[in-house]
Amino acid sequence: MSVLLRGEHLTRILPGTVPVTLVDDVSLTVSGGEFVAITGPSGSGKSSLLYLLGLLDQLTRGRLVLIDQDTAELDEAARAALRLRTLGFVFQFHFLLPEFSALDNVMLPMRKLGERNDREQRERAAELLAVLGLEAHLHKRPHQLSGGQRQRVAVARALANDPPLVLADEPTGSLDSASSEQVFSILHDLVHQRGKTVIAVTHDMELAARMGRRLHLVDGRLEGQGRLQ
Amino acid sequence: MKVPVVLDLARSHVLGRGRQTLVAVLSVALGVGFSIAMAALMQGGEDDMIEQMVNAMPHVRITDEFRHARRQPVQDRFDAVAIAGLRPKEDRRGILNPVEVRARLSGWVPGSLAWSLRTQGVVRYAGRDQGLTLVGIEPDQAQAVAAIKPEEFIAGDFQSLAFGGNNLVVGDRLAEKLGARLGTTVSLVSATGESRSFKITGLFHTGTTARDEGEGYVLLTKAQTLSDRPNVINDIRLRLADPALAPEVARRAERRIGYKTVAWQEANESLLEALVVRNVIMYTVVGAILVVAGFGIFNIISTITHEKSRDIAILKSLGFTERDIRRLFVAEGVAFGVAGSVIGWMIGALLCVAMSMVRFELSGAGVAQEMTHLPLAWNVWHYLVAAGCALASASMAGYLPARRAARLHPVDIIRGAS
């Protein structure tokens, strides 16, 4: 599989009177179709590494190449455009816009990208929601949905522009075990049936063990990685 | 038509906060409405004042004075000369060669001319003396320059001066003070002490106390005889078809005949300047009202950006740029401004209609002018300027929090929310 993402000596230090190192000299390569778990104890820099990989945060040092593009050369607008086209985010909390219906929330990235017309956007959003078992809830607002349903809408939104890479930050962290399993299955299917690459932060070692590869962080440093089958 | 996503987001934010949106829109609307009403009132007052000024006085007035002291011939001959102990010749006052002066003006002045002799005198009746400005006129000319408008005559008119004998037209207040009426014969005493009996053949009421109490008109020849100044005129009045041309006509007339020629704008320069200052004050107040409304918008959009910081973070994570976020909140400010302006236009128009229905009856001693209604000017510029100020204020009120919101770091917000 081709290399999708390559990070060299990724470092993130929060400036201040006492600088805090969040991510310390992490190098990694992720290929297309991988299901990667980032694990580690609280405060080990898992989410910080994910935000760096997702271009939401700026590197203090190091180099990140995303789909053959050196991100150091990109300005804010170009980073946003790259995020829009190639990345999908799923957070611990759904972060859906409360004024919009499930369908409108999923359409949001497509409307920003503007490559599909309104009918196509609507059809694709409905199709994604249907695949995730939400065909009966298209026009419901987030407050009318359960936690698991909201998180599935968030997954549909992450997939709206058909990005090759999905980044998930504790995607099952706020869900009950049944919903967790459901969301995990969706992410699993994304990799094995749709050929997406998923990098997910989790502190659930059981879930991490079911992913293809694990990166373990301690105090911001990559302490170990392994492939699991 | 599909609404752009940023505008759709702005709409959802604004409509999601009904009460606060209503307050913001109403604050702008009231600002715009009262600004329009105030501008209409101020402009109306100004127009009314200028109209009265233009109607009540000649557009251009030529008097028997010179703007600058006459140059001595020696000054023209030598570059450096000092003149001391100069004793000017006591010229006989009046416009010299009036026939030639009239001829020089008649050909090109775009309007009517009237010449007269203005002199001071006393009118005496039943043991009462009243000082007055006595104006000797040619009735046809005076009518043409509308020295007194036809509707201002209570009885008689200028033509009555030419009926034969010594006739006099005076203001109603002067007649009242003397206890005289139409047909009463009074004595006129000139500054030189000459006295003649005149019969009141006309009464006028201009509404300007100074004129109604202190002005009298007789035939030019009678005034010249009474003041012992035969064939003399000292005042030429021009009434132009377009009063705005007065300064240009005055300049040209002064160049041609040399006598001091004053346009109505120059004669009322300080008043016109005061009107400009008044307008500056008015527009400052209007601006201040709308800036205050802008603070309300600033407050609401700041609150929205604070409450929606999580949405801002998620939009950024989806690929929205800082520019998109700025546009989103500026659009909200502009929406408040547009809605407020439209409602404000209606409030302004209604206020103007209400004010136009107010009637006053002012009369009596000490009141210089009678005013029966509030003077209002309907001008589309008042609406455009008020809306323009409101939009500028609302845009700025939206931009400041929008800029701050656009700079929010999504990671900080996501971490905070988590």
Q: What is the DSSP string of B109-140?
A: -SEEEEEEEEEEEEEEETTEEEEEEEEEE-HH
> Residues, chain A, total?
229
Query: Is B253 in the same domain as B278?
Result: no
Of B239, B259, B279, the residue that ends a domain is: B259
Q: What is the per-residue pLDDT for B100? A: 83
Query: Is B239 in the same domain as B288?
Result: no
Query: Is B220 in the same domain as B310?
Result: no
Of B259, B294, B310, the residue that ends a domain is: B259
Q: What is the per-residue pLDDT for B142? A: 81
What distances in angstroms separate CA B11 from CA A99, B158, B198, B326, B329, one per listed residue? Answer: 10, 70, 81, 15, 10
**Domain annotation covers residue B83:** no
Identify which of B238, B230, B315 has the alpha carbon closest to the alpha carbon of residue B62: B238
Q: What is the per-residue pLDDT for A228? A: 53
In this predicted model, what pLDDT tens digit does every residue of A181-190 receive, in sequence order?
A: 888 888 888 8
Q: What angle do CA B272, B273, B279 make, to 5 degrees?
A: 90
Angle (deg, nearest 10), helices B322-356 and A76-86: 100
Domain housing B163: 93-259
**Domain annotation covers residue B77:** no
Residue with tokens 């929008």: B402
Q: What is the per-residue pLDDT for A6? A: 93
Identify which of B176, B175, B146 has the alpha carbon closest to the alpha carbon of residue B158: B146
* DSSP single-letter state for residue A145: S
User: Which pair of structure tokens corresponds to residue B82?
Assistant: 């000092």
Put simply, the answer to whether B411 touches A100 (Cβ < 8 Å) is: no
Phi/psi for B289 (5° steps) reads -60, -45
Q: What is the per-residue pLDDT for B184? A: 92
Q: What angle do CA B152, B153, B159 make, to 5 degrees?
A: 130
In three-state secondary structure terms, A198 is strand
CATH number of the A3-227 domain: 3.40.50.300
Query: Is B208 in the same domain as B321?
Result: no
Kindly tell me the sign of the dihedral angle through the C-alpha atoms of A42, A48, A51, A56.
Answer: positive
Chain mean position to CA B402: 43
- Please report residues of B whose CB lies closer than 8 A to that of A153: none
Query: Is B143 in the same domain as B253?
Result: yes
Amino acid in the structure at residue B98: P
**Domain annotation covers residue B80:** no
Rounded to whole angstroms, the Cα distance separating A143 from A140 reads 8
Residues of A with CB under 8 A from a CB of B: 47-48, 51, 54, 56-57, 76-77, 80-81, 83-85, 87, 89, 91-93, 95, 97, 99-100, 108-109, 111-113, 118, 157, 169-170
Q: Are B203 and B171 in contact (CB under 8 A)?
A: yes
Rounded to whole angstroms, the Cα distance separating B221 from B228 reads 10
Chain A contact present for B2, CB below 8 A: yes
Query: Is B198 in the same domain as B311?
Result: no
What distances in angstroms separate CA A145 from CA A136, A142, A149, A152, A185, one per listed residue? Answer: 11, 5, 6, 10, 19
Rounded to whole angstroms, the Cα distance separating B321 from B281 reads 42
Query: Is B20 in the same domain as B129?
Result: no
In this predicted model, what pLDDT tens digit does every residue of A64-104 receive, in sequence order?
A: 999 888 998 889 899 999 999 999 998 888 789 888 999 99
Query: Is B215 in the same domain as B173?
Result: yes
Q: Which residues contact B7 (CB under 8 A, 6 or more apart)?
A: B331
ipTM: 0.86
Is the pLDDT score of A229 beyond 50? no
**Domain annotation covers residue B64:** no
Query: Is B173 in the same domain as B314?
Result: no
**Domain annotation covers residue B245:** yes
* DSSP single-letter state for residue B227: T
Domain count, chain B: 2
Rounded to whole angstroms, the Cα distance separating A164 from A151 reads 20
- Nearest residue, CB atoms, B16 vs list A57, A81, A99: A99
Q: Residue A35 class from Cβ within 10 Å (0-12 exposed, 13-18 middle, 19+ buried)? A: buried
CA distance B327 to chain A (A): 13
Measured over all CA atoms, what is the biggest interatomic distance in chain A, rounded to whole angstroms? 53
Pairing, β B261-263 against β B60-63: antiparallel
**Domain annotation covers residue B288:** yes
- Please report residues of A whose CB lies closer than 8 A to that of B322: 76-77
Kindly give the confidence (pLDDT) of every residue in chain B, 418 residues in length, as a single tens digit, with 9 standing for 90 and above: 566 888 888 888 888 778 888 888 888 899 899 989 988 998 898 888 888 777 777 889 898 888 777 777 777 788 777 777 777 666 667 887 888 888 888 888 888 888 889 999 999 998 899 999 999 998 888 877 777 888 889 998 888 888 888 999 999 999 999 999 999 999 999 888 889 999 999 999 988 888 899 999 999 999 999 988 888 888 898 888 888 899 999 999 888 888 889 998 888 888 888 888 988 888 888 788 878 877 877 888 888 888 888 888 888 888 899 999 999 989 988 998 999 999 999 999 999 999 988 887 765 544 445 557 888 888 999 999 889 988 888 888 888 888 888 888 888 888 765 5
Rounded to whole angstroms, the Cα distance separating A207 from B34 reads 66
Q: What is the per-residue pLDDT for B107? A: 80
